[in-house]
Amino acid sequence: MFNGHDLSQYLMCRVHKPIMAPTKPTFEHISGRHGEVFESTYRDGYDLPVEAVLRSEWRREVSEVRHRLAEMLWTTEPAPLYLPDDPTMYLMAIVSGDTDLGEITDKCPETTITFHVGDPDYYGQRRTMTISSGGTRVLNAGGSRPTRATVTAKPGACSTWKIEDIDTGEYVQLSGSFTSATTIVLDMEREHATVNGSTAAVSVLSDYFDLSGVTHLAITSGTAAIEWVERWL
């Protein structure tokens, strides 16, 4: 499944899937010492090759199937890619390089479609939770990697509104003439805030924070809907 399209109706596939994304550790040579000193490591993007054979019993159908596949595979930005062995999680991927669909048209051999995965995390279940002022609320982010949420708040009548991670002390705060009709949206991933659809500034000490494991959240007034997607190694 790619970008909402079921490719299995047109292709038989075999995926060469790594256990995890490639890692790139860095080391530093210290003058006068043998060996190296570890500095850091990060997970890199990678190519995911998919061996595919066109499903078509009649040669006159091949051209039509080819065009349908091209429409399914073409995107202008990464899209969700579900792999056959793990239908509950997806990668953000985009087709890269030559798809060799013309070669399939001529002889129907096995060919390779390459997806590039820039974000090494897997994405799982989309989850939501509503919190209210007057105490803390426990949120279990799930997954094995930190994730970032979208917060949609109805702050009520106030001049300052804040959401805080009680465990770390990180928070995002906005000031304004808020009313019962005000809607605040915080996109923690893009670090962007709006008030009633217009871009809004947050306080200087605000820090768009991650959700990781069990988190205790609090808001100063009103209610807030928290929406996030689990992230996994």
pLDDT in tens, 66-117: 888 889 999 999 999 999 888 899 999 999 988 765 555 555 556 789 999 9
The count of structural domains within the chain is 2
Residue 78 covered by a domain? yes
% of residues, the chain, pLDDT over 90: 73
Q: Containing domain of residue 127, as a range?
A: 123-232
Residues 116 and 131 in one domain: no
Query: pLDDT (tens digit, 9 = 90+) per residue, 125-163?
Result: 999 999 999 889 999 999 999 999 999 999 999 999 999
CATH at residue 178? 2.60.120.860
Residues 142 and 195 in one domain: yes
CATH at residue 71? 2.40.30.200
CB 13 within 8 Å of CB 51: yes
Q: What is the pLDDT of residue 64?
A: 80
Residues 18 and 96 in one domain: yes
Which tokens hold the place of 199? 């871009």
State CA 62 to chain mean position distance: 34
Residue where the block lists tokens 């959700």: 211
Which tokens hold the place of 167? 């465990």
Look at 9-23, 140-154, 178-192 and tell me which has the smallest mean pLDDT. Answer: 9-23
Residues 101 and 135 in one domain: no
Q: What is the pLDDT of residue 135?
A: 87
pLDDT band at residue 169 using 50, 70 and 90 as cut-offs:
very high
Residues 97 and 145 in one domain: no
Q: What is the pLDDT of residue 126?
A: 96
Residues 18 and 87 in one domain: yes
| pTM score of the predicted model | 0.84
Residue 2 covered by a domain? no
